[in-house]
Structure 1
């Protein structure tokens, strides 16, 4: 019997590539996104259900889960991929911007997970894969809100192991480094310096560094890691992806807080 994966944020980037990979592997795929009417490629694939899901809308979450179960009979794997980055000085961020970053990256992920858990508990089986980031364990300047959500996702996922493993449900964390996706486009909200002169020069420097950051174009690596996490049958928790992620995480383990901060400041030059 074909297995089924349910993927959020499937309209582009890691999410869309993950839909393609699972489809190639013979899985049923529920590819969810905010505007399914704009998606042509995935909707044309056999065994792929393209349906609406906005992680900030609990009604759309419930409807998407119901549609996927109705179409395929069950869901074996949940991939929480939807998210974006709010970049800029914390002081410059409005309350609305702060709350939206938390609503999408953290509260939305929790809402989708809670909607899926009754189904997985009943079957006493399932894998929940949360797409975090190397930014879930190391930090960069002017990304405090984004890091706050990803650090929270890491802690949430790690803790959930204890309550879900005995029910036959495994939890996994994917930690990509820098990849050429739409993260720097529609998946990024630039708060910037917010008109505060004290932040202008370091923010401009950060923008310059980001523009020149070596990004991998092979986003299939991330989809491969997600597929591995879905199918390896182990209790392995974290899956770093990309050479930069592995190097940064290794450096963070080897250095104390002050040494790591000095290294980052030296690389970025602020």
Structure 2
């Protein structure tokens, strides 16, 4: 019997590419998005079912899962991909914008997970794949809120995996870099408008913006392909591995975070992000 995956946020970026990849591998795909009219060529694939799912609205989550099960019989894998990045100086970001970031990146993934668990428990099987970021392991300047949301998602994922292991349910985390190459940045602009500019930060912002421009230029050109292949790898991986790091661009900082002492890690990141004293 074909396996079935439900993916959130499939109108663009990693979500759209992952839906296409799974379908080409012969899986049934429940491709969900806030506006089903943005399905594009996914709507022409016979093993892809397009349906509305807005992670803000619990009724749409329940309806999408029920419709997917009715269409394909069961769901084997959930990919919590819906998300966006809020970038800017913390002091200038409104509380409403911060709440929105957590509503999508954290509470949305939690609500989708909660909704699928009765089905997974009944099957005594299932895999939950949460799309995090390198920013889920490292706090980046101008991305403190985004990093906080992804740190929360990773902590949730790590704790949840122990709860679900005895039920035959796996939890996986994907930590991509290369987000700026996926159309993610366009969403950032749309979601980050509610910000106050504070002149005292301008010298720091100019320096960090230039640094991030260089990091964007150095991002893996094939980031999307690597990420979706890794999501598929996680879906079929029978091991209890938790984290997968698909792109090379973020690897040096992840290695410093997880493979060196706290002192060495901070010396390395300070050399990147902290202005040198004059």
Q: Same fold (TM over 0.5)?
A: yes
TM-score normalized by structure 1?
0.95
Aligned equivalent of 2:202: 200
Q: CA deviation at 1:192?
A: 9.3
- 1:251 is matched with which residue: 238, 251, 256? 256
17-26 or 204-213, which deviates more = 204-213
Q: CA deviation at 1:28?
A: 0.2
SS in 2 for 1:186: helix
Aligned equivalent of 1:217: 221
SS in 1 for 2:196: coil
Mapped pair 1:168 → 2:171: no
Greater than 6 Å deviation, 4+ residue runs: none
Question: Where in structure 2 are the equivalents of 1:115-130 lying within 5 Å?
Answer: 115-130=115-130
Distance 2:256 2:77 in 1: 32
SS in 2 for 1:41: helix
Q: Deviations over 1:137-179 (max 9, x none)?
A: 1121111111111111111111111111111100000010124
Aligned equivalent of 1:182: 183
Mapped pair 1:242 → 2:250: no
RMSD: 1.7
Distance 2:33 2:188 in 1: 13
Question: Where in structure 2 are the equivalents of 1:91-106 lying within 5 Å?
Answer: 91-106=91-106
Distance 2:40 2:141 in 1: 38
Aligned equivalent of 1:74: 74
Mapped pair 1:233 → 2:235: no
TM-score normalized by structure 2?
0.92
Confirm or deny: 8 A CA contact 1:5 1:30 kept in the other structure.
yes
Gaps of 5+ in 1: none
In structure 2, relative to structure 1, the CA distance for the partners of 1:191 and 1:92 (3 Å cut) is: farther
Aligned equivalent of 1:263: 268
182-191 or 38-47, which deviates more = 182-191
Aligned equivalent of 1:18: 18
